[in-house]
Amino acid sequence: MKLLSCFALFCIVGTTGIRAEQPTTKKIADMSTEEKARLDSQLNDAWNKLPLEGKQRLMNFNRALREMPPADRRFIQERVEHFVNMPPAEREQLRQNREKWQKMTPEQREQARREFRKRREEFEKKWRAEHPDEEPPPPYRPKHKEESPGEAVPPTTSEQKN
């Protein structure tokens, strides 16, 4: 099974409530024959436990990834890996933010986007005044190893379309 397919299976299995043993971050190419056999067995067991709908979702997801340009595929993989490796507290904050966002009316969501864009523009203006030869950094995205996760940023209109 290709690495991408393994990665996709771990992602889908994780979202369907079926748990294989904790996925390894070790590259398949670096695994021993025994490790590969154990992983293959775990993946086959997870696949066999998936309901038909889960299998179909996985196949659709895998096909979509295969058909993407490599840069887009890497972008998606990085976001999923970020989520999979997220500390529990950060994941819980993300869940709470999602619930809050879903309860908002479309008008409230648009207002939140406007406020975020306004704060971002103000930050960029201040940054450029203080650092005339530098581009401002991208919006803050917390790293996993840092102690404080920072504030969550609501998605922009363009992020929601992606």
Query: What residue spans define the domains of the chain?
Result: 3-85, 90-161
Q: What is the pTM of this model?
A: 0.49
The sign one gets for the Cα dihedral 144, 60, 103, 16 is negative
Question: For position 26, what pLDDT does the model report?
Answer: 73
**Tens-place pLDDT, residues 18-34:** 444 444 557 888 999 99
21-25, 48-52, 63-67, 130-134, range with the lowest pLDDT: 21-25
* 92-to-9, 10, 111, 138 alpha-carbon distances in Å: 23, 20, 24, 24
Distance of alpha carbon 160 from alpha carbon 162, whole angstroms: 6
Distance of alpha carbon 55 from alpha carbon 71, whole angstroms: 26
Question: For position 13, what pLDDT does the model report?
Answer: 45
- At 49, the pLDDT band (50, 70, 90 cuts) reads very high
